[in-house]
A and B are shown apart, each in its own frame.
Chain A
Amino acid sequence: MSDSITAPEAPPETESAGSGRRSISLNMGPQHPSTHGVLRLQLELDGETILKCRPDIGYLHTGIEKEFEAKTYQQGVTLTDRIDYLAPLSNNLCYCLAVEKLLGLEIPPLAQWTRVMLTELTRLNSHLVWLGTHAIDIGAMSVFLYCFREREDILRIFEMYSGQRMMTSYFRIGGLALEPPRGWQHRVRTFIDAFASKVDEYENLLTNNRIWIGRTRGVGYVSLENMLDWGITGPMLRAAGLKWDSRKNEPYSSYDQFDFEIPTRTESDVYARYLVRIEEMRQSARIIKQALEGMPSGRWTADAPHVVLPDREKMKTQMEALIYHFKIVTEGFRVPGGEVYQTIESPRGEVGYYVVSDGTALPYRVHVRGPSFGNLQAVPVMVEGTLVADVIASIGSMDFVLGDSDR
């Protein structure tokens, strides 16, 4: 009888070469709080040293790229919000720019500047969430509370503009969804005037904090060459010394009219990434101030009646406008055939939209290059050979969003 009972499967322990010690396998995630979503890391450990790391993603795959093909171009904007839910406006912008390039649309200055201002607020929003949660992971609780205090103000500004705090869909193909709301200047100015001192507050808590420095300096190093080979983008690349930022290198949406610096460091560790992002917040605040002072006036949508919905008033009084409205709502607008790869600098790195049109009102193919996807595959390069306690700090410094990588 005892023959029928098989022994329980041997625990996944293997003899690690040379050391004579046994390595153990550890599953970190997908429900681990520090993985900020559903990232799973399969770690093979020798004591506390990581021998091998295998990231596993896909838990948040929702088939967004397929869904694009069943929606009109304008409806697709709502999907872009949900890709990177900490930087929805950056994704709105990149998608709109790609389709506008296919259409050959000229976007009026007011819309371009508002887009710049709101995407920079999005960068602040995203960096604040990153800073707060990254600090919590490493053990500094109070930073989180301060960061979310400011984030709340930003979300209120988004709500004022679009009626939504997170999934704004405020940028539309051809411009903005609505006219900028009355009183936006006051709200943005109140926020941005106080913001510089808020960044000082975070820095007071962390920059010279011995525990913070101990946990982050020299941790998570990746060489610049490895970063380029593995396709890492964004603040991580800049913390390794490469001054590459789409806003400067391939300016879009009138970024070339703004005066700002691209911060870089050379240490390429978790601490350097922290310093780069802190400085990016200050630079974003600079851009927002310039946008606030120099905001042009005029229309907020392009002069393209076959793409942009007519004003309500015109629709009720003019036959032409009513016909356009009917056509756009019922069948969308046709986009000339061709293909475009548009990139922007999101808070996390290079967002790219590859849009293929076959001349109909539905996109033939939309591919999204999410920066988190490219960055995450380099996790093994970063953590193999280091201590398991540093994994949290290392992956925290990547600032990934799983919605962005799994799509």
Chain B
Amino acid sequence: MLPEDVKAHPTAGALEAACGDALVSGKFDRGELTIVVDPEKIVDVCRFLKDQLRFVRLSTVTGVDWYPAEPRFEVVYHLLSVDRNERLRLKCKLPGSAPEIDSVTSVWPGANWYERETFDLFGVRFRNHPDLRRIMLPEDWEGHPLRKDASVTGSRV
């Protein structure tokens, strides 16, 4: 359920009407709209946003680690509607152990590398991803450097 001030926004209102049970919360921060989505329903929400609300472009997918809080991980999506000149941020909260979420590559093929990057650097697994391999680091790298419990300086060999 979205708060009233967020629901007044046309995009948030349309989203609430179509798939209200998938939305966890929403807020305006410095003029930017953020909607927190149930991770199980991310693909449905994205499909609706792209097909009905014309968010034709996915700008980026990334993660944030809130260690040691639970749910630990956030997967963050930034969308752009070219027609309406409007940006939207979606978030999904995932648990610290075995974080998994459905891939949105079926909606925007361009999510492919962004999800690989998030997998590589945060260790979030994307289900139904066509090619989930490490992208930045070598295949045999251990750990996920952007997690907060990974050291900035690395380990001494």
Identify the A interface with B (CB < 8 A).
57-58, 61, 63, 65-67, 69-70, 101-102, 104, 228-232, 242, 244, 249-250, 338-341, 343, 350, 352, 354, 356, 364-365, 367, 369, 373-374, 376-378, 406-407
Contacts and interface: CB of A to CB of B under 8 A. Distances in A.
B60 to A, nearest CB: 4
B113 interface: yes
A58 B59 contact: no
A3 B135 CA distance: 40
Contacts of A66: 145-146, 150, 152
B110 A352 contact: no
Contact of A63 (B113, B134, B145): B145
Contacts of A369: 59-60, 78
Given A66-B146, A369-B59, A373-B117, 5 more contacts: A229-B108, A231-B110, A249-B85, A364-B64, A407-B136
B110 A229 contact: yes
A67 B34 contact: no
Contact of A231 (B59, B135, B138): B59
B108 A231 contact: yes
Contact of B60 (A57, A230, A352): A352
Task: Please provide the 8 A-B residue pairs with the shortest distance between their CB atoms, ordered closest to farther.
Answer: A231-B110, A369-B60, A61-B136, A230-B110, A367-B62, A377-B113, A58-B136, A70-B152
Nearest to A339: B29
Contacts of B113: 373-374, 376-377
Interface of B: 29-30, 32, 34, 56-60, 62, 64-65, 76, 78, 82, 85, 87, 89, 108-110, 112-114, 117, 121, 134-138, 145-146, 150, 152
A101 B30 contact: yes
Tell which of A104, A232, A341, A406 has the most Cβ of chain B within 10 Å: A341
Given A58-B136, A338-B29, A341-B87, A350 B59 contact: yes
A338 B59 CA distance: 20
Given A61-B137, A101-B30, A338-B30, A343 B152 contact: no
A83 to B, nearest CB: 14
16 contacts: A57-B136, A58-B137, A58-B138, A66-B146, A67-B152, A228-B57, A231-B59, A341-B59, A343-B59, A350-B59, A354-B76, A356-B64, A367-B62, A369-B60, A374-B110, A407-B136
Given A242-B82, A343-B59, A377 B145 contact: no
A354 B114 CA distance: 14
B60 A229 contact: no
Contacts of B32: 339-341
B89 A341 contact: yes
Contacts of B64: 356, 364-365
Given A340-B30, A340-B32, A341-B32, A378 B110 contact: yes
A58 B136 CA distance: 4
Given A231-B59, A354-B78, A367-B62, A58 B135 contact: yes
Nearest to A70: B152
Nearest to A55: B113
